[in-house]
Amino acid sequence: MSASGRADEAPLVLAHDLGTTGDKATLVTPTGEVVASVTVAYPVDFGADGKAEQHPDDWWNAFCRANRLLLAKHGVAPERVAAVSFSGQMMGAVLTDAAGRPTRPAIIWADTRAESQCARLIERVGMAEVYRITGHRANPTYSLAKLMWVRDNDPEAFAGSRRFSTAKDVILQRLTGMHVTDHSDASGTNAYDQLRAAWSDELLSASRLPRRLFPEIVASTTDLGAVRGAAAAEAGLAATTRVIAGGGDGPMGALGAGIVDRASGAYAYLGSSSWVSFADIAPLHDPQMRSMTYNHVIPGQFVPTATMQAGGASLDWIASVLRPGADDRFEQALAAAETSEASADGLYFLPHLLGERSPYWNPHARAVFAGLTMAHDQGNLVRAVIEGVAYNLRTGLVAFAESGHRFAAIAAIGGAAKSPLVARILADAWQLRVRPNSMGDHATSLGAAAIAAMGVGLLDRADVRSFVGKPSGDAVEPVLDATINAERYDTFMDAYRRMEGWFDR
C-alpha cells in the first residue's frame, strides 16, 4: 500500500507463464490476490521424426504484447509493477549469439530427435550414473542431447552460437543482458549435478560441448536488476521494474499448488504435459528409474516427479479432432464424455502422442485406441482419453508408493483439473481423494508471482503458504470399486506391454 493508502497505487507483481501454446501474464497483489491475466498464443512447429520447435522471437513478442494488453485493459500504470518473474517450459534448447539473438529455432521439451546423441551419452557415462548425477535418466527430451543434436545436424547455427538458454532465460537475457538460469531449470537439462548444485563436469565432457555455452546458475528469487531502458520501452514496462530469475514450470507449479515441503502432500498438474509430484529434502532415486527429481524453486527442497509427455495435450487433441475450430471444443468434448463409458466398456487409450517419459522412457511409444468397436461414439473416445491420462499418471504414484511415499489426497492444478468430470475420473483411477486447487490454471503463475514478491522483499518465505493456492471446495472421493479399478489398470498396462514391440519396430 502506498503512503496515501490508495489501493490503485499499491505495488503489484507480474508473473509470466511461458508455456507450450502461449504466454500467460498475470498481475498479482503482494498478498496473493490475482488481479487479472491475459494469454497471448504462439505456434508450435511439430514435424517429422519427433520435431517440436518454436521461435524465441515469438516468446518475446508474446511477452511484450501480453504486458501491454494486461496493463492497458486494467488501467495499471507500468510504474506500479514492482517486479516481474517467470515460470517457463523446461528441457528445451535455445542457442543465441554473443548479442543474445537466436541462431536457430528453439527445440522444445516435446522434441525427441536426439536419440543417437542420447545413446552416445549413455555409452560414455552409463544410464545409472547419469541418473545418480542428475536425478534423471538420459533421454532425448532433455536439453543436453538436444544441444548435441544441433551441433551434429545444424553445424552452421551451432558454430555461430555462444549461449545456451531455456525458454524463460531468453526473456531474462533480453530484459537484463545477463546469461543466467536458476537451479530448477538447470535440473531439467541432463547436464546438472544435483548434489553439487552445479553443471556436471562429467556430463559436459561426455557431451563434447563447450562449457562457455552454459549460463551462470542462481537462486530463483535472485534480483537480476531493473529492466534495461530499451527493453523496458519495447516490453511496455517501467525501467524501475525489477527482474527476478524465476524457475521451471514443474517446480513453479509445485509452489503455486502449495507444495513447499514433504508435509504439503502431493499434486498433479494437467497442462500440455502432465505430472504427479511432491516435495522433499532429498532427491528420490527410484531403483527402476521411473521418476525423476527436479530442484524446487524453494532452496533446500527437491521435487520428485513422474511426467508424461501428452497429458492435457491428449485432451486438447481429441477435442480438436472432434470439434475442429470450435472455441468451446473442450467443453463440448467433456459434455459428450459425461454420460459415456470407456474402460467399463472395454475401450482404452494409450496417451503416447509425443512418445513417453514416465514410466517407459520410450520416444517410440505411440498413442493407441484399444478395444474400439462400431458401438463406440465420440463420448466414449473422449472418456477413454481422460482415463488413459489418469492411468498413465497412476504409474508415477505407484512408483512413489513403492519408494515409501504414499499420499491420501492429491491437489490438482492446470486447466483440465477444473473439470468435475476429470476430477472424478482421476479420483477413481488413483483411488485417492482429489482436491481441486483454488487457483486452477493460475497455479504456476501464482508460483512465479510469489517468487517475484520474495525477490523484492514484498513477501517473506515464512508467509508463502498464505500467498499460494488453497484447496477449492470439497475433495472428490473415489467411488469406483478398488478391485474393479485395479483390473482396469492392469488391462491398461497390459495394452502397452503388448504394443511395445510394435512401437520399437
Active site residues: 249
Q: Nine-digit cell at 381?
A: 473416445
Which class for 505: exposed (0-12), middle (13-18), buried (19 or more C-beta within 10 A)?
exposed
Cα separation, 167 vs 90, in Å, equals 7
Dist. CA 268–CA 397, nearest whole Å:
10
Contacting residues for 251 by C-beta, under 8 A, at least 6 apart? 184, 294, 295, 296, 297, 303
> Distances from the Cα of 146 to the Cαs of 118, 184, 207, in angstroms?
9, 18, 10
> Which amino acid type is present at position 412?
A
What is the Cα–Cα distance from 210 to 197, expressed in whole angstroms? 19
3-class SS string, 20-41: CCEEEEEEECCCCCEEEEEEEE
Helices 420-430 + 378-402 axis angle, to 10: 50
Pairing of strands 81-88, 242-244: parallel
Beta bridge partners of 435: 411
* Dihedral sign, Cα of residue 463, residue 464, residue 465, residue 466: positive
Query: Closest Cα to residue 78, out of 64, 67, 86, 87?
Result: 67
Q: Are 122 and 80 in contact (CB under 8 A)?
A: no
- The answer to whether 70 touches 38, Cβ cutoff 8 Å, is yes
Cβ neighbours of residue 443 closer than 8 Å, sequence gap 6 or more: 253, 256, 257, 269, 413, 414, 437, 468, 469
The set of residues, in sequence order, having a beta carbon less than 8 Å from that of 172 and lying 6+ positions away, is: 86, 178, 180, 224, 243, 245, 246
